[in-house]
Amino acid sequence: MSKIKDLFNSGKFKSAFIPYFTLGDPNYNDSIEFGKTILDNGADILELGIPFSDPVADGPVIQRAVARSLKNKFSFDEIFRVTKEIHLHKQETPLVYLTYFNPIYHCGIQTFLDRAKEAGVVGLVIPDLPFDTKESETLFHELRKRDMDLIHLVTPASTKKRIESLKKTSTGFIYYVTSFGVTGERREFSVDLKERIRFLKDTIQLPICAGFGISTPEQANQIAGYADGIIIGSAIQRVIEENGQNSPKTKDVLADYISKIRASIT
């Protein structure tokens, strides 16, 4: 049984808070501290970014985070070590990886999944792997064998037909991309956001979590009114960027921001 499914069924929250940050920014050991801080202050699921040199679905804030991370020598050993440390800090919070497909493919799908699972990861989000590829099918089956989830992205441009056909290979939750473009904080969202999420909920029997562009407690509160979860990346990454290393101040700002968002969606 999927950990994510259990969590959404548990009734612990009205809407889930799913923060994201990039591992290795500014270095791997600080990531452990940031992860713990975020977990302590109210993440329901934590998304960990495995850096990739060419993040085409990401805006400038996350691009810069990835670039800072890759100044450290990238290694899967480090990624899994850090992930495990974060996982052991609060084992009941599901961890998912967000990364591009190339590093996973390069690592080898089987090896990657075995090690990710061992480190405490229960699902994957891969923005450049459409569900209708051979690789996505392979990945889906391998994940199922390990009780892990493949979280698909659906966008304002996805047609009804396409949404229908991704049902077969979706588990965990649906990552609904709230706006056109790439990740990054935004002032406004597409006008039919609410209707689209409703339609998705009716079509796919999975929780629908919204991300891309959300940054303020007000936005989170508003969208939590109709989405099953809120995903926030760039705004968190900006806190790390602006405050830098694992100083008490960075952790304070992070803790404050995370708890405010968590409070805004209950």
The site for other proteins (CB under 8 A) is made up of 51-57, 59, 63, 67, 70, 74-76, 100-107, 127-130, 132-135, 152-159, 162, 177, 180-182
CB of 18 to other proteins, least distance (A): 18
CB of 35 to other proteins, least distance (A): 20
Cβ proximity of 162 and 138 under 8 Å? no
CB of 55 to other proteins, least distance (A): 8
CB nearer to other proteins: give 5 or 152. Answer: 152
CB of 193 to other proteins, least distance (A): 15
Cβ proximity of 151 and 123 under 8 Å? yes
CB nearer to other proteins: give 39 or 66. Answer: 66
CB nearer to other proteins: give 158 or 216. Answer: 158
Closest CA to 36 of 80, 79, 78, 90: 90
CB nearer to other proteins: give 92 or 192. Answer: 192
Cβ proximity of 25 and 238 under 8 Å? no
Helical ranges in the chain per DSSP H: 3-9, 28-40, 60-71, 76-89, 101-107, 109-119, 134-145, 160-166, 193-203, 217-224, 234-243, 248-264
Query: 47, 85, 149, 228: which is the annotated catalytic residue?
Result: 47
Closest CA to 212 of 190, 236, 186, 194: 186
Angle at 50 between CA 72 and CA 79, to 5 degrees: 65
Active site residue 58: yes
CB of 157 to other proteins, least distance (A): 4
Name the token pair of 46. 């934590």
Strand arrangement, sheet containing 46-49: 149-151, 121-125, 95-98, 46-49, 16-22, 229-232, 208-211, 174-177, 153-154
CB nearer to other proteins: give 109 or 253. Answer: 109
CB nearer to other proteins: give 127 or 233. Answer: 127
Query: 30, 33, 44, 58: which is the annotated catalytic residue?
Result: 58
Active site residue 47: yes
Name the residue with tokens 């760039």: 234
Name the token pair of 256. 């404050």
CA-CA-CA-CA torsion sign (51, 57, 58, 64):
positive
CB of 76 to other proteins, least distance (A): 7
- Catalytic positions, please? 47, 58
